Structure 1
Amino acid sequence: MTRGFVLVLSIVAFFNTAVWSKDPLQRNLGQDPNSISNSSLMLNYNPKARSFWVSTTSGKKVFVKGLVPKANFIKVEKEAVSDPAFGKGQALIARDADGASVSFTLYLSQPFLFIRQSIKNTTYGIADFPKLSPVSFLLDLGKPVGQLKTLGTGGLLDPDKNPGSYVFLTCVDPVSRNGVVTGWLTNEKGSGVVFSHIKNNLIEIEPRVEYGHFRLPAGKTEKTETLLVGYFDDARLGEEQFAEAMAKQQNIKLKPRSAVYCTWYAEKNGGAGTESGTIELAGFIKNQLKPFGLGVLQIDDQWQAGNQYNGPHRGFDRVDPKGGYPNGMTTTAKAIKEDGLTAGIWWMPFSRNHQAPEFKDHQDWFAKRTNGKPYETTWGGTSLDLTNPEVQHHIADYASRMHQWGYDYFKMDGLWTGTVTEQIYINDGYKNDSIGNCLPLHNPLKTQIEAFRDGLRVIRKATGEDVFLSGCCVSQNMRSFGASIGLVNSMRIGPDFNHDGQSIRTGAIRASRLYFLNGRVWWNDPDPSMLRESGESTADNASKGIGSLTRARLLPSFVAVSGQFFLSSDWLPDLPLDRLEIMKRCMASHKGIARPVDAFDKMLPSIWIATDKKSGTDRNVLGLYNWETSPQKIGTSLSRAGLKDKMTYYAFDFWANKPLPDLSGSFAWELPSESCKVIAVRAKAKHPVVVSTSQHISQGMIDLLKEDWDGESLSGTSKLIGGDSYELRIAGMNDGRNWKLSSALIVGSPQGVIIEVLPQAEKGWLRVVIKGKESQVVKWKLKFKK
């Protein structure tokens, strides 16, 4: 019995050792007490220096030096840990004598070091923490600091010129793209910021969480926000993985989006529009643009009644009978829905006017400044105290009522008012907004950021999952940036169109530096693409050529290729046909991966690549954008762009509607001022292939569901839009052999669908047109002979 028992134990021990050895976290557990590692990173503690350093697992790249917890710790302990979102891991925990700590954790599948501070109130009263900095550290990327850049919410800047970035900061060598991403995984109670400085010829990183007031009862211990730090050969991929980690932490499941019409900027029926105008617009969209992706008609500010004291009217529960919607908002919502569209509405959820008669007996609903006066800001009105149960009921009632009217899309403006901070417009890089310049809230143990998040949860609970919540906008005060993640479906990531004097560049600048959030934590809203003849409608636009068709294509093309949230705000019934054509080809959203190629080279990138492999075929689209008011030569190498360096590619220019010479090695084109090129590229395959389609600027990513070659036939499955001529642009007729088309047919012969082969006018290329009266999915087959 004893020998058998020992034998069983030995086998089990051997099996466990074999299994654990495959797991670098577990393999390392119980060995060096001052080191942990996973497949990406290794963390080591130096007891003599009382500091940590971080390297890649191979140990060849030590990128974090002098990592020091900002706590008087007396010991460092090693522990196995587990997290509901990230699974098993190992931690080194620096503890002080009173029970506070800073933990450093590596999880098996995550390329980041997780850093989290735990604080304890050892006094006999409530302790108030205005801000906390858990650590500081130095970054070594193996290059002189003068050759490095930092990219954050303030843009691409030298490390010592960056004012500080909200939520994240990327430090990068622009030449190699090697870099370190530092970011706050959570912003539950505090607002995470990251600062950079120069110290000892290295970049010093100072992460900070700002609370205003974080009040902790006597004897209580509480964990704070979580910071992530990771090294990446391509820092763009690091930013994307940072966003994916936030989505995992918050359990974000993105709501589907369609293009949105916003009434605000329209040259006719602008502002909130009118009942008759909005109903007319809905009918136009149904007949002309809905099949191409425009699915939401959103009524903006000025529909509501209520008194006006500071900024917009805030009577969101009433409509002025003398205003633009005399029959109430339900009538218009019903008409919009009858046309197959989603009805959207604007409101400011977190502020009212304390001067309004209806709030005379509810002054306790408002947050107060330290001088006791209601917390009022320019245009923002008076911030509501979102910890007050009566206020929560009030907001829920408003949200529920608008939903009952028939509105399933909320544009929520002035969100920063819910954080009880000053308006800092325009806010990108860090600015002092005097967070904490208020008296304790109704619940004094709730921080301002915590109260803000609770307010968003109140709206979601009141409306259910049916309503699409669109945030607006982080540039009013960046405290609403990290605090909104996980609680809104889209977010305006910049100020109002041209409010910073950047014209069509206003939204593109912010959408580029925050591109990695799009499609992962929310949809980036860069504000509407203006297509009207007069551009921004300023008096001198005509002399500048601002109304040109090439300029009108620039911003919509950027939004479409980069996969951002498409919005329109021109009066569509009067828009010329060539402008409507731009909308049709740009409104729908592809589901591929889009990245800026020169993200670390310039403040506003000029080259993007979108890639999609879901159909089984590699589809790549290059977007080249000249944002300057003078001609520019734009280009790079294929490998830099994300294509294969030794491959030759067919190329098709979408807006020029023509093939380009084959690409190999590199590419460059001279682009006129404020213009773009959108080019589909497809690797040569020694047989005919579909390079481009005509339906959308992504040229097959949305509409071409499948493509196959069986040795003599090219077949595919495509989504047609009723009444829209659908063209396949096929290259490779002279690739490998001289291929001749022998037949073209629609499989199954659906009623009303025809296929036509156009006369061959371009060497090596073939164009085939498919037309159908109804929107449908069709299968087609092209047979070739050698």
Structure 2
Amino acid sequence: MKSLVKTLALFAACSLQAAPLIQNKYMKIERAGEKLVLSSLVDAQQMTAQLDLPGFIQSSKIAECSDQLWGKGKQLMIKHGDSTTTLTLYDGNPFAHLETRVSNHGEEMLNLKKLIIAKMDFDFDVKESQLNTLGTGGLRTASSPKGSYAYSVLADPESRNGVICSWLTQLRGVGLMLPTFKEGKHQLETQLDFGLMRVQPDQTRETDILLIGFFDDARLGLEQYADDIAKVYDINLPPKPNVYCTWYHRKQTGSGASTESMIAGNAVFAQKYLKPFGLDVLQIDDNWQAPENNPGKQNKGPIKTFISTTKHFPSGMAKTADAIEKEGFVPGIWFMPFAGDLNNPTFDPAIFAIDKATGGPFEDNRWSGTTIDASSPLGEAFLRKRFKRIYDWGYRYIKVDGLHIGSPSHNLYVNRSYDGKVFGNAEIHDKSMTFVEAYRKGLDIMREEFPDTTILGCAATQNMVSFAPVFGLVDAMRVGPDNGGASKGDWKQTIAGADYAGNLWFLNNRVWYNDPDPIYVRKSNPLHKARWMASWVAVSGALNTTSVQYSLLSPERFDIIKRTLPAHNLDVRPIDILENSKPQIWKVENDRMVVIALFNWEEEKETAINYPLERMGLDPNKGYEAFDFWANRYLGTVKGKLNTTLKGAHCQVLALRKTKDHPQLLSTSRHITQGLIDVVSEEWNPRKKELRGTSNVVANDPYELRIVCPDGFQAMELKTSDKTAILSAVEQADELARATLTPSITGSINWILKFQ
């Protein structure tokens, strides 16, 4: 964070010059009267952005600068109105960094709820009617945009050329994007919503950093944006958890938190049958907590005291944490970190933020409770005591719900696009802090009191103040709405997690882990829909969560869970995110193979996919051998285009390998990604006619190798370093050979397949 402060304080390292323009290899910036013109220098169609800053421009200066985080660069400093805006181009970064400082030259306090940073017009070489815009609300045409949080993309879906405007930091305000379409032009206004920022007379206050960048491929630009977020906040994510959650099988357990005995039983079962595959967290959800000092009345939503337990946990929460840990799992628990209840005497009213309309505590009347004000010493002390209590019980994975109430804000669920609402009409204790600064202070306190703990935020869609303003302070985020209806096959809820998390693919594994909510494999969810959910999570690398009493599942349904574990950490990309509001084609690869996953988002209608391999980033002049995971079928050689038709609510997961003149491993049965995460190495020995490999396997789980064999090769015999493994006879039909080994150990084994 020291380097972040240096980034915000850019004037100190500058030596003034008198050049009229600044540029790097990516763009140039010049002043044109009252506007600033940013022009792309990348090898793409011509793109420009014209910036209009509030107030008249009084002066402009050029400076060279050096930043510890971003390196050397040049700045254009503009004084306008009561503000100074600095645009910086760093030598090695494709984004222009724009930061505004606000000065108060008057004699009275300046109170700012919102601040317009810049208004922009854009010029492309193509017609506006050909452009699309992408933001937190999803993909829209340029002529029908929606307000967005944190970022906004304007792109040509055909060429993928685009301009990205995004908030690098949100330390002081919520970064807003307000696109409009007027007189045939797409325009964008960027704002910061502080809740309230006070600027004292003769004081200058920093705001946040806005990025503007031009890209040949806007998808890569968003991934660069996420990398830069991780850099500025110094994000180092913990290992990705693979989670069981109690919430979505309440009817099986009688409580959203399950029960002490049922959790212990699930832990024993999962230790034997799922832990070897990668399950590592067992998380208790809402309903574990009992009311304290019950006043006979409580605010809406959950009980918010989080001290004692209900009858379902007679031995207390520490006992259950011990039982979970005993089976080798990380104990996890749900609670609402910043929520109180103004009706309950457990809470001293002095810890709450104030509702300016009533003079009483600020409360969300929908669900989230009363805001515990982290800027108050009393509020901070209460939070530290709450957090320490739960930490001392032994929980090292926490799901923190109602996160937005840490700032005085209302629950807007389901909130995705910006429509004018963020904060409530409130006042916090420390008048020198913005609502976001106080909010992040509360999150910092939580981080301090939960060392070595993975934190899952929940949920961005309640109010998007719990989206970008929490970057760097949570490890994962529920980015979509609850999807419990998917357990019964409700299609809208089946695809909801993939829709919301898919739109934010670029944040996953970089800024945090996207949580789309659980996958459901129980019988009440039709098999093809269960496979759809499982495939999307397995391929996308999103947080993998299940919510069921595992022993109640049939072997076929239980096996689906095994094939999704663990979640991988590879970079994934939605190929057609700039073309389709719900991308049908997803790609993940390593240096050995490619996996292409195809999804039909329509419940009843067929979807035909006819897509060039070149647009998938594959060689259009090469052939690719293909294997369909769910059909368990070799599809032959694909070249030029991928053509397929998917039934309603169906998907297809294809393993692809470039065609070669010798046998190669095309697919395995271990995971839906078919060798992407389990195959460590593979080598063909032409002299011995042997295909050798190393794989990570699970004891007693049959592991099938699917080998594509060119003409003239016949698979003969399988050998393995696991001397007690059960080996099947090798079978070959035409170009595909199959060989199965059932290992006696969990871990890495070597195998050899001989040919003649």
User: Could you tell me the TM-score, scaled by structure 2's length?
Assistant: 0.93
Q: Match of 1:665?
A: 640
Indicate if the aligned counterparts of 2:352 and 2:362 stay in contact, CA closer than 8 A.
no
In structure 2, give the amino acid aligned to 1:512. Answer: G
Tell me the equivalent position of 1:581: 559
Show the counterpart of 2:425.
437
* C-alpha distance 698-675 of structure 1, shift in aligned 2 (>3 A): same
Which of residues 524, 528, 542 is equivalent to 1:564?
A: 542
Residues 458, 478 of structure 2: 8 Å contact kept: yes
Equivalent of 2:703, from 719, 726, 734?
A: 726
| 1:386 corresponds to 2:374 | yes
Task: Provide the C-alpha distance between the structure 2 equivalents of 1:566 and 1:355, rounded to a whole number of angstroms.
Answer: 37
Deviations 1:558-581, CA, capped at 9 Å, x for gaps: 011011111111222111111111
Give the deviation of 1:226 after TM superposition. Answer: 0.6
Give 1:674 shift: 0.8
Partner of 2:27: 41
Tell me the amino acid that sits aligned with residue 509 of structure 1.
D
Q: Is the 8 A contact 1:37 1:57 kept in 2?
A: no
Quote the offset at 1:364 in angstroms: 4.5
Pick from 332, 344, 347 the counterpart of residue 356 of structure 1: 344
Instruction: Note the 1:435-474 alignment, pairs <5 A.
Output: 435=423, 437-439=425-427, 441-464=428-451, 466-474=452-460
- Residue-pair matches, total: 727
Give the secondary-structure state (helix, strand or coil) at the position aligned to 1:219: coil
The structure 1 residue matched to 2:602, chosen from 628, 634, 639, is 628
Say whether residues 1:295 and 2:280 are aligned partners: yes
Q: CA deviation at 1:69?
A: 2.1
2:624 equivalent to 1:649: yes
In the alignment, which residue of structure 1 is the partner of 2:402? 414
1:86 counterpart = 2:70: yes
Give the conservation status (yes or no) of the 8 Å contact 2:144–2:181: no
Q: Aligned with 1:570: secondary structure?
A: coil
Maintained 8 Å contact 1:591/1:702: no
Deviates more, 1:83-92 or 1:468-477: 83-92
Please point out which of 758, 761, 785 is paired with 2:730. Answer: 758
Letter in 2 for 1:382: T
RMSD, aligned α-carbons: 1.9
Of stretches 648-657 and 53-62 in structure 1, the one that deviates more from structure 2 is 53-62
SS in 1 for 2:308: strand
**For 2:422 and 2:284, how far apart are their aligned partners in 1?**
34
Q: CA 1:656–1:225 in structure 2 vs 1: closer, same or farther (change >3 Å)?
A: same
Residue 477 (1) aligns with residue 463 (2): yes
> How far 1:103 moved relative to its partner?
0.9
Which SS does the other structure have where 2:280 is aligned? strand
5 Å-filtered alignment, 1:170-209, equals 170-199=153-182, 201-209=184-192
Contact 1:652 1:680 in 2 (8 A): yes
Aligned counterpart in structure 2 of residue 310 of structure 1, from 300, 307, 316: 300
Match for 1:291: what amino acid? P
CA distance in 1, matches of 2:716, 2:492: 53
Mind listing any 5+ residue stretches in structure 2 that lack a counterpart? 1-14
Counterpart amino acid of 1:309?
Answer: N
Question: 1:22 is matched with which residue?
Answer: none
Q: Show the counterpart of 1:592.
A: 570
1:53 to 34, 37, 49: 37
- The answer on whether the counterparts of 2:25 and 2:42 sit within 8 Å (CA) in structure 1 is no
**2: CA distance between counterparts of 1:340 and 1:468?**
16
Structure-2 separation of matches of 1:671 and 1:383: 48
Corresponding residue SS for 2:677: coil
* Pair 1:608 & 2:586 matched: yes
Counterpart of 1:527 in structure 2 is 517
- Shift of the 93–576 alpha-carbon distance from structure 1 to 2, 3 Å rule, reads same
Between 628-637 and 292-301, report the one with greater CA deviation.
628-637
Q: CA deviation at 1:655?
A: 1.0
Q: From the superposition, tell whether residues 59 and 642 of structure 1 become closer, same or farther in structure 2 (CA, over 3 Å).
A: closer
Q: Aligned residue for 2:358?
A: 371
* Residue among 708, 719, 726 paired with 1:745: 719
Matched residues in 1 for 2:492 and 2:743: separation?
A: 42
Matched, 1:281 2:252: no
Q: Which residue pairs with 2:12 in the alignment?
A: none
Identify unmatched segments of 5+ residues in structure 1: 1-28, 536-547
Identity %: 36
The aligned counterpart of 1:16 is none
Structure 1 pair 62/68, CA: closer, same or farther in 2 (3 Å)?
A: farther
Amino acid corresponding to residue 27 of structure 2 in structure 1? L
What corresponds to 1:272 in structure 2? 257
SS in 2 for 1:252: coil
Tell me the distance in 1 between the aligned counterparts of 2:516 and 2:408: 25
Q: Secondary structure at the match of 1:355?
A: coil
Code of the aligned partner of 2:237: L
Residue in 1 that maps onto 2:3: none
Structure 1: which amino acid aligns with 2:95? F
Residue 194 of structure 1: how far off its partner (Å): 0.8
Q: Give yes or no for contact 1:634–1:669 (8 Å, CA) kept in 2.
A: yes
CA distance in 1, matches of 2:729, 2:617: 34
> How far 1:75 moved relative to its partner?
1.5
The one-letter code matched in structure 2 to 1:488 is: V
Looking at structure 2, the residues matched to 487 and 757 of structure 1 have their Cα atoms a distance apart, in angstroms, of 53
User: How far apart, CA to CA, are the structure 1 residues paired with 2:202 and 2:624?
Assistant: 67
Matches within 5 A, 1:331-350: 331-350=319-338
CA distance in 1, matches of 2:420, 2:576: 31
Partner of 2:743: 772
Question: Which residue identity does 2:601 align to in structure 1?
Answer: W
Change (3 A) 1:261 1:633: same
The answer to whether the Cα contact below 8 Å between 1:653 and 1:679 also exists between their aligned partners in 2 is yes
Question: What is the TM-score normalised by the length of structure 1?
Answer: 0.89
Quick one: structure 1 residues 434 and 65, their matched pair in 2 at CA, closer, same or farther if it must change by over 3 Å?
closer
Deviation (angstroms), 1:179: 1.1
- Return the letter of the residue paired with 1:777: S
Q: Which residue of 2 aligns with 1:695?
A: 670
Contact 1:172 1:179 in 2 (8 A): yes
- Match for 1:779: what amino acid? N
2: CA distance, partners of 1:657 / 1:414: 43
Distance 1:434 1:525, change over 3 A: closer
Give distance in 1, aligned partners of 2:419 and 2:457: 21
- C-alpha offsets along residues 649-696 of structure 1, whole Å, 9 cap, x if unaligned? 000011111101210111222212211110101001211111111100
Q: Secondary structure at the match of 1:435?
A: coil
Which secondary structure state, in structure 2, belongs to the residue aligned with residue 673 of structure 1? Answer: coil
Assess if the C-alpha contact under 8 Å between 1:68 and 1:135 holds in 2: yes
Correspondence 1:516 to 2:506: yes
1:730: Cα distance to partner? Answer: 0.9
CA–CA separation in structure 2 for the residues paired with 1:158 and 1:608: 22
Paired position in structure 1 for 2:53 = 69
Contact map agreement 1:590 1:698 (CA 8 A) in 2: no
Per the alignment, in what secondary structure is the counterpart of residue 316 of structure 1?
coil
Please state how far the C-alpha of 1:59 moved relative to its aligned partner. 8.8
